[in-house]
Amino acid sequence: MTDLWSDLLSCLALDTRPDGAFEGRNQELGYHRIFGGQLLAQSIRAAQLACPDKAVKSLHVQFARAGRPQEPVRYEVTRHHKGGSFAMLTVMARQTQGVAAVAAVSLHSREEGPDQQIAFPLPAVPGAEHDVDLSLLPWDTRAVVDVDSQKSEPPEYDLWMRTPTVAPELAPALTAYASDLSLIGTALRPLEGVTQHDSGTAFSSAVTAHTVWFHRPFTTDEWLLLRHQSPLLAHGRCYGRGDVLTARGSLVASFAQEALLRFRTIA
């Protein structure tokens, strides 16, 4: 069986092509399409390689079509602006069939200044009895509630995660990757008897747009809380958002997503 952690790290080690573009291999997941989180993570890595003197502060991705896992992804970076403090890039993820995704990426040089935020009351990190197995996340994950409960529950989900020790520059890519996993499942929680495992039977789903904002430097090898909320499911689409917090309550990132959620029958 493929070591999923090593496989993911290999996918984040993009190759630089002679024409200045970057190329990334795909995860060996056995799926019919590329996981969107991989495209998010690789887009961040392409932006970091193209502008290494600044940190990614935001990423907004529009997904154009399903990526084919049997073909590497080419990342073409266009630099629109680079100043002393900010830079703006677009990253186009392309395969022979056409564009799979387009990312607008903003980067920023770290600056000193006031640092304040509202308080986020957080529970303690759950114990090992709350370990959950999320196949796409090859690291420690814990949750007190079951995102795939058959019961009708509020559209909220708290997921704790901690990766193995890894270079700090990979934290944004790994966090963006994880942020793509559970928002559709969160949107489904109020529906009795329906979970994300019913994709392809009760409904069809696909992420159409995903945004991540990075607020502070952080690492992923200490516990992080991904706090999901989905306030809307309507007209064949769902919308979700979330925050990423350290165990000490520091807000380090936020994310939002729109997805297709088309039911074949009324649930």
225 has a pLDDT exceeding 70: yes
2 has a pLDDT exceeding 60: no
pTM, to two decimals: 0.95
* 8 A C-beta contact, residue 37 and residue 93: no
Tokens encoding 19:
């024409």
Q: What is the DSSP letter of 124?
A: P
* 8 A C-beta contact, residue 193 and residue 267: yes
Residues 129-177 have pLDDT tens digits of 999 999 899 999 999 999 999 999 999 999 999 999 999 999 999 999 9
CB atoms within 10 A of CB 31: 12
Backbone angles phi, psi at 182, to 5 degrees: -120, 5
Q: For the chain, how many residues are written?
A: 267
- Which of 233, 235, 221, 227 has the alpha carbon at shortest distance from 254? 227
Strand residues in 48-178 grouped as ranges (E): 55-63, 73-82, 86-95, 98-108, 140-142, 156-162
Residues 238-253 have pLDDT tens digits of 999 999 999 999 999 9
Type of residue numbered 246: T
For residue 259, name the pLDDT band (cuts at 50, 70, 90).
very high
> d(Cα 143, Cα 126) in Å, to the nearest integer?
7
* 8 A C-beta contact, residue 12 and residue 171: no
Find tokens 């995660």 and name the residue: 161
For residue 31, name the pLDDT band (cuts at 50, 70, 90).
confident
